[in-house]
Amino acid sequence: MRRARVFISCGQWNDREIAIGRSVQRYLSERFDTYFAERVHSSDALTTNIFRALRNSEYFVFIDFKRDKISNEQYRGSLFVNQEIAIATFLGLSGAGFCEKYVKREGILQHHIYNASEFEDGTQIINQLQEITGNWDPTSVNELEIQKGGSPMKGVRLDNHPEKPLTDWYHLTIKNNSKTKHAFSVHGYVTRIMNLDKGKELQIPTNELIWSGLGEISSNIVSGTSRDLDAFFLMQGQNKIRFHQRPLSTNNPNYLVPNLQTGKYVLHYTVISSNFETVSKEFRLEFGGSPNIIFEELKDSV
C-alpha cells in the first residue's frame, strides 16, 4: 500500500519559487508520497493532471507567492494556486497554506481556508510544517483494497433453493484504507475470466456481485473498516463454480456471468465507488471438482 499523498500547490514563476516548492517537497517526502503540481495551460491537461492528482491526494499544501502589484504594500496572489485551493476545498482535503508577505487575501482565501500563514522565505515554511504536519497520518490512504477473504464458509444450506443444497462460499475482503473518509456506493464485479487450459478469454457480461450477508449489490464501507464480497460459490457434489450476482428478469446467458467447469482460470475482479478510485486484482483459481479448490491472489496484479 502506498503512503498518504500530499498535493503541493506552488507558484513556479522563477527559480526562487521552484526552489522553495522543491524544499517543501523534499521535507514532506520523508513521510509521505508527494505530487508537485506542474503548471498546465489547457483544460485537458488541467482535467487529466491536476483534478486527478487532487482527487487522489489525502493532504494539500499551498504556497501563494506575490504576483501583480495592487498598491505599495499589496499584491495579487497566483491564479493557479487559487484554483487549486478551490478544488481542494471542494474535495475536503486537510492541509496547510502559506501566503507570501503582502499578498492580498482574495476570493476563497478571504474565508481563512487552511488558516494560511504569512512567510518571507522558505525556512519559515519548513519550520511551520514540522508543527502542522505532526498529526498527519501517512498510513491513512483514500483507497480501496481488494484482498482474498478468510477461510471459505463450507456446508452452508441454501434455504432459498428448492433442493436446499449444502454450499461452499469463497469471499473477497474489500478494505477501506482511509481512516477519515467513508466509501459510498461500492460495487464489485468479475470483469475478466481467462481459461488457462484452453488459452481463451471468456466473454462475460457486466453484472454486479452480491455483498456477503447483505444480499445487496451496493454497499458503503466506513473508514478504516472492510466488507466481504461473494467471490463465487459451489453446491457440494456439483462440479460447477457459480457467481452470486444481481438477480435478473431473464435467464438469457448473455446477461449472466457463466458457471465454470473444472479447470484452471484467472479471475479479474474490479471494485468501483462513487468517491474512490476504481481498483482491480487478479486471482488464480484451480478447480478440480468439488471440493478441490485452490483460490489465491496473483502477485503483481492490478
- CA–chain centroid gap for 261, Å, is 34
- The whole-angstrom separation of Cα 189 and Cα 22 is 41
Indicate if the pLDDT at residue 41 is higher than 60. Answer: no
Task: Report how far apart the first and last C-alpha atoms of the chain are (Å, whole number).
Answer: 12
pLDDT at 57: 94
Of 37, 36, 32, 38, whose CA–CA distance to 5 is shortest? 32
Quickly state the pLDDT bin for 301 (edges 50, 70, 90). Answer: low
Residues 6+ positions from 255 with CB-CB distance below 8 Å: 205, 207, 248
pLDDT at 47: 60
> What would the grid cell of residue 173 be?
475482503
Query: Which of 8-17, 32-41, 141-150, 162-171 shows the lowest per-residue confidence on average (mean pLDDT)?
Result: 32-41
Q: How many CA atoms lie within 13 A of 147 on its CB side?
A: 16
| Dihedral sign, Cα of residue 92, residue 95, residue 100, residue 105 | positive
For the chain, give every residue range classified as CATH 2.60.40: 144-297
Amino acid identity of 31? R
- The whole-angstrom separation of Cα 100 and Cα 98 is 7
Counted residue by residue, the chain has a size of 302
pLDDT at 152: 94
For the chain, give every residue range classified as CATH 3.40.50.450: 5-135
- The whole-angstrom separation of Cα 18 and Cα 65 is 11
Question: How deeply is 111 buried, as exposed, middle or buried, from its count of CB atoms within 10 A (0-12, 13-18, 19+)?
Answer: exposed
> What would the grid cell of residue 73 be?
504594500
Mean pLDDT score across all residues of the chain = 90
pLDDT at 298: 92
- CA–chain centroid gap for 182, Å, is 11
pLDDT at 302: 56
Indicate if the pLDDT at residue 137 is higher than 90. Answer: yes
pLDDT at 197: 96
Structural domain 144-297, CATH architecture: Sandwich (2.60)
Q: Are 194 and 201 in contact (CB under 8 A)?
A: yes
- Please give, one letter per residue, the 3-state secondary structure of 230-276: EEEEEECCCCCEECCECCCCCCCHHHCCCCECCEEEEEEEEEECCCC
| pLDDT tens per residue, range 166-212 | 999 999 999 999 999 999 999 999 999 999 999 999 999 999 999 99
Quickly state the pLDDT bin for 240 (edges 50, 70, 90). Answer: very high
pLDDT at 161: 82
pTM here is 0.84
In CATH, the number for domain 5-135 is 3.40.50.450
| pLDDT tens per residue, range 62-110 | 999 988 889 888 888 888 888 889 899 988 899 999 999 988 877 767 6
